[in-house]
Amino acid sequence: MDFGKTDKLKVLAISGSPRRNGNTDTLLEKAIEGALNEKTEVINIILSELNISPCRHCDGCLPTGVCVIDDDMQQIHRMLRAADRIIIASPIFFMGLTAQTKTMIDRCQALWVLKYVLKLPVPYKSNGKRKGLFLSVGGTGFTKLFEPALATIKSFFTVLEFSLDGQVTYRRIDEKGDILKHPEALQEAYVSGHQLVENP
């Protein structure tokens, strides 16, 4: 799995929920619909179906900025570096991102090394602005429900040089399919996906 060698805007859509076709997957589908046009190429990866082991803090990446663990994260690193846009969707689990999402983010320590230790560029393209969108839901109505997850997303985006272009977050979405009762959420996800690729 990799982006084609075209001039199209490369959009990486990351599904971080272990529940297939659940609420965040539905939001992600809508955002992808909004982002898809003749000028864009969208790759959707489903983290729960990939083989991604957790960062071991072995420091194996320190000399090179390349992770020594040979699993699906190798191709995700390439796609993360090639992408012009990123859409990352994760429900809230215990006030944070899902384990699948956090595991993928932690494995970007190799890219942190590339940027801050080796002083090498993370994005493959030197020109062009990289932008990202965060989609999330949670079952409860806590006011600060998305703050811890957002702090992690912001840190992840900073390292990978994506600016946070938007966020679509909905509280009190718990049962599978609950999000379908909120057409305004689906519309917001669609519009956010559209704006993510339309604005330079």
Residues that bind ligand FMN (CB under 6 A): 17, 19, 22-25, 91-95, 137-140, 145, 173-174, 176
Neighbours of 44 (CB within 10 A): 16
- Cross-sheet strand order for the sheet of 131-137: 40-46, 9-15, 85-89, 131-137, 163-170
| 79/95 with CB nearer ligand FMN | 95
CB of 136 to ligand FMN, least distance (A): 8
Return the number of the residue (81 or 182) whose C-beta is nearest ligand FMN: 182
Instruction: Give how far the C-alpha of residue 89 lies from the chain's centroid of Cα atoms, to the nearest Å.
Output: 6
**Residue 25 or 84 having the CB closest to ligand FMN:** 25
List Cα–Cα distances, 25 to 109, 138, 163, 172, 179, in angstroms. Answer: 26, 13, 22, 16, 10
Q: Which is nearer to ligand FMN, 40 or 98 (CB)?
A: 98
- In the complex, what is the shortest distance from the CB of residue 79 to ligand FMN, in angstroms, rounded to a whole number? 22
Residue nearest to ligand FMN (CB): 22
Looking at the DSSP bridge assignments, the partners of residue 133 are 87, 166
